[in-house]
Amino acid sequence: MFQKKPTTIQEQIQKLKDRGLKIAPEDKADHYLSHISYYRLGEYWHSMQYDKEQHLFKENSRFSDVIALYSFDRELRILLFDVIEKIEISLRTKLIYHLSHESDPWWFANEQLFKNKYELEKTLANLKRELSRSKDPTIKNHRKKYGDDLRFPPAWKSLEQTSFGALSKLYGNLKNTIESKDKIAEEYGVVNHTFLPSWLQSIAQIRNYCAHHSRLWNRNLPGAPKLLPKPPNPWILETQNIPKQHEFLKLYVHLCLMKYLLNTVQPGNTFTNKLDTLFQKYPNVDPGALGMKPNWQNEPLWDIF
């Protein structure tokens, strides 16, 4: 039975000191612990402990390094959220445009276009809830003007209300015979429908981590994206810098996929500079914890602008 009692901030600080974490007055530990929970910060000092059961810290472990890791991770999430937003808006635009022209404005509700009817029903149920809660003037005006039309609003209205995760599921669930599925992949330089679904699912999962302020640093990530054997757009030249299957748990491969798509969505983007600057700002952060490769900035994928 769980019997632990809540502790005060001063008790938390003393407990950390007793376990070997160096905390100086200038670290302002009481301030940070009053705004960032002990449990959340624990995700960052966990790697500093040599005894995970007794929670004992390695020699020279410092509270200031914990805050640096936390701050790095926070700024990394903000950077990635900005990148993913651009990819999300692009994907939404392409789905709406290509499928509405190939089929009709209600293609997303046509089960004949999709492989898995059950998955489509779940996606549409979520979309229906989003639309019912929406205060967007476009949706309100559509209901007012076309109240007798019981269908969803057309794609260019409905799909503006749904998430990146739902968009990635719609794309992945499209039958492989749908021409737009290959067309969209081709426009992103991802060749065909074989590869893009796993990329989008991977990025959608990372977006959820960013949206819920979850740790990305030193985290094993779900998903197994399929890499292109011969990417048509600038990629990675050094064989040792190409992510291996066992490295897909680390963030590096997912960053590469985001950069590859972003180079099409926003030519001349500054993702490389911003990411490199972030590592320079926090020199105590081990890039290896994210799976970064040596001189990753010099690869054609990252250095084309």
- Residue-wise pLDDT for 108-118, tens only, equals 999 999 999 99
Residue 106 has pLDDT above 70, yes or no: yes
In this structure, is residue 303 part of a structural domain?
A: no
Alpha helices in the chain (DSSP H): 9-18, 29-35, 38-45, 63-102, 117-133, 137-145, 155-158, 164-173, 179-187, 196-211, 251-265, 271-281
Q: What is the predicted pLDDT for the residue at 245? A: 81
276-305 residue pLDDT tens:
999 999 999 999 999 999 899 999 999 865
Q: What is the predicted pLDDT for the residue at 223? A: 75
In this structure, is residue 1 part of a structural domain?
A: no
Q: What is the predicted pLDDT for the residue at 224? A: 82
The arithmetic mean of pLDDT across residues 117-143, rounded, is 94
Q: What is the predicted pLDDT for the residue at 304? A: 63
Query: What is the percent of the chain where pLDDT is above 70?
Result: 99
Torsion 221-223-227-232 (CA) sign:
negative
Residue 33 has pLDDT above 70, yes or no: yes
The arithmetic mean of pLDDT across residues 240-253, rounded, is 88
Q: How far apart are CA 12 and CA 38, in angstroms?
A: 8
Q: Are residues 212 and 78 in the same domain?
A: yes
In this structure, is residue 129 part of a structural domain?
A: yes
Q: Are residues 35 and 162 in the same domain?
A: no
Q: Are residues 20 and 140 in the same domain?
A: no
Q: Report how many domains make up the chain.
A: 2
CA angle 15, 19, 23 (to 5 degrees): 70
Q: Are residues 171 and 216 in the same domain?
A: yes
CA angle 95, 260, 246 (to 5 degrees): 110
Dihedral pair phi/psi, residue 293, rounded to 5° = -100, 155
Q: Are residues 175 and 249 in the same domain?
A: yes
In this structure, is residue 276 part of a structural domain?
A: yes
**Residue 150 pLDDT class (50, 70, 90 cuts):** confident
Q: Are residues 43 and 167 in the same domain?
A: no
Q: What is the predicted pLDDT for the residue at 67? A: 97
Residue 235 has pLDDT above 60, yes or no: yes
How does DSSP assign 166-194, residue by residue? HHHHHHHHB-TT-HHHHHHHHHTT--STT
Output the average pLDDT for the chain: 94
Residue 3 has pLDDT above 90, yes or no: no
Q: What is the predicted pLDDT for the residue at 243? A: 86
In this structure, is residue 2 part of a structural domain?
A: no
In this structure, is residue 304 part of a structural domain?
A: no
Q: Are residues 48 and 126 in the same domain?
A: no
Give the domain-ending residue among 42, 61, 80. Answer: 61
Q: Are residues 143 and 100 in the same domain?
A: yes
In this structure, is residue 241 part of a structural domain?
A: yes
Q: Are residues 47 and 86 in the same domain?
A: no
Q: Could you tell me the CA-to-CA distances from 101 to 82, 94, 139, 208 in Å, in that order?
A: 29, 11, 22, 30
Q: Are residues 132 and 34 in the same domain?
A: no
The arithmetic mean of pLDDT across residues 83-110, rounded, is 98
In this structure, is residue 4 part of a structural domain?
A: no
Q: Any idea which of 92-106, 108-122, 126-140, 174-188 has the lowest mean pLDDT?
A: 126-140
Torsion 179-185-187-191 (CA) sign:
negative
**Residue 2 pLDDT class (50, 70, 90 cuts):** confident
Question: Taking the mean position of all CA atoms in its chain, how far away is CA 258?
Answer: 9
**231 lies in which domain range?**
70-298
47-57 residue pLDDT tens:
999 999 999 99
pTM, full prediction: 0.94
Residue 105 has pLDDT above 90, yes or no: yes
Q: Are residues 162 and 90 in the same domain?
A: yes
Q: Are residues 28 and 82 in the same domain?
A: no
The arithmetic mean of pLDDT across residues 24-40, rounded, is 96
SS3 for 44? helix
